[in-house]
Amino acid sequence: MVSRIEEAAYTASQSARVAWFVSHFYAARRMSGPLTRDGEAPFKSDKPVPSREEIAKGLRELFARDLRHAKAGLYDLPTSTLPRLDRAVRNSRRFLGDVPEHDRRRSERSHSEVNVADGQNFYPPYYLQNFHYQTDGWLSEESAKLYDFQVEVLFGGSADAMRRQALVPLSEFMGTRDQRKVRLLDVACGTGSFLRTVKDNYPRIPASGLDLSPDYLGHARGRLSRWWDVEFAHANAEAMPFEEGEFDVLTCIYLFHELPPEVRPVVAKEMIRVLKPGGQLIFVDSLQYGDTEGWDGLLDYFPEGFHEPYYHSYLSEDLEHLFKENGAELISSTPAFLSTVTVFEKV
């Protein structure tokens, strides 16, 4: 049940969140140089671009849907969507302090300034880059500390609400199953924000998280330290250290648009390998071309402002075909603002 007071608190805190993160987006833009170099014509997509009003409407619809799902008992709303004031100020200073570095890399087109002090050979070359705002790439404690704030800035405060949409198919999958017997793996769990949401909703699920960044995993471990039944693996999603059919359900959020096209089938195959027959993969990533009518042009702009070397190819990746080839059927595909939630089942 969501009480009237909780509903009002949710609406007020989401509005404050959006204002906070959108203002950081514009502050970062103001602190940065032009998107184009001297003499270059600004990029213009030949596809339709939604107006600001349409984007704002899409955002409101996402929050309305989030609330509806909570009211329907599909998941709990987070107890607080606002961070503590001291933490918010600290993160804001950190974020704004890092903007000139991001801007310098962008204007110099230097996107391989990563922290590879340890184990250079362990990481595939595509991984050793600065994706979007990420100073040091995925490989420093500072990058891990900043990550969640930066992602919320990118998505105008909607990232957590979009991730929560993965809880809808998860709640359908859980149905009357005994939580203790459902093994869940979050592939590319990053700093653990989605895994924590899973455990808040299903405290008895034995959950695992896998990621290639030791620093992001360290952050995730801290976040989930109150649960004894959460395990983490520092590994490449291309070769996961798990047995065939070990998991009932896999989640994977915002990984595939950061993989080169030739690596996606390898990871897709590996994910389906570790799923049990009848098990489901709940997959959340960027909208793709055609997912939301009239929005394709907006997607074209993302790699203009941020280093996203594989994003364009992701926009037309045929996910249904990719997973079907590896033994999983498409069950559903549901756009949620700037993301799409897609569900596959291993046959």
Ligand X SMILES: C[S@@+](CC[C@H](N)C(=O)[O-])C[C@H]1O[C@@H](n2cnc3c(N)ncnc32)[C@H](O)[C@@H]1O
Cα–Cα dist 91/83, whole Å: 10
Residues 149-188 that bind ligand X (CB under 6 A): 151, 163, 188
Contact call for residues 7 and 76 (beta carbons, < 8 A): no
Retrieve residue 262's tokens: 């030739």
Residues 103-142 that bind ligand X (CB under 6 A): 127, 138
User: Does position 237 bind ligand X by CB under 6 A?
Assistant: yes
**Position closest to ligand X via CB:** 190
Q: Which of the ranges 54-62, 84-92, 250-258, 321-329 carries the binding residues for ligand X, by CB under 6 A?
A: 250-258
User: Does position 275 bind ligand X by CB under 6 A?
Assistant: no
Cα–Cα dist 178/191, whole Å: 27
In the list 152, 258, 291, 300, the residue contacting ligand X (rule: CB under 6 A) is 258
Sequence-distant (6+) residues with CB within 8 A of 208 are 183, 184, 185, 186, 230, 231, 232, 233, 247
CB of 267 vs ligand X, minimal distance in Å: 7
Residue type, 8: A
CB of 166 vs ligand X, minimal distance in Å: 9
If the CB atoms of residues 20 and 149 are measured against ligand X, the closer one turns out to be 149
What does the longest C-alpha to C-alpha distance in the chain come to? 62
DSSP for residue 258: G
User: Does position 311 bind ligand X by CB under 6 A?
Assistant: no
In the list 62, 205, 233, 253, the residue contacting ligand X (rule: CB under 6 A) is 253
User: Could you tell me how many residues of this chain bind ligand X (CB under 6 A)?
Assistant: 20
User: Does position 295 bind ligand X by CB under 6 A?
Assistant: no
Give CA angle at 284 (268, 265), nearest 5°: 15
If the CB atoms of residues 214 and 335 are measured against ligand X, the closer one turns out to be 214
Say what angle helices 4-31 and 52-71 make with each other, to 10 degrees: 150
User: Does position 189 bind ligand X by CB under 6 A?
Assistant: yes
In the list 152, 211, 285, 308, the residue contacting ligand X (rule: CB under 6 A) is 211
List, as one string, the DSSP characters of 315-335.
HT--HHHHHHTTTEEEEEEEE
- Rounded to an integer, what is the distance from CA 95 to the centroid of its chain? 18
User: Does position 220 bind ligand X by CB under 6 A?
Assistant: no
User: Does position 81 bind ligand X by CB under 6 A?
Assistant: no
Cα–Cα dist 15/4, whole Å: 17
User: Does position 18 bind ligand X by CB under 6 A?
Assistant: no
Q: Which of the ranges 24-32, 52-60, 209-217, 337-345 carries the binding residues for ligand X, by CB under 6 A?
A: 209-217
Binding site residues, ligand X, CB under 6 A:
127, 138, 151, 163, 188-190, 193-194, 211-213, 216, 236-238, 253-255, 258
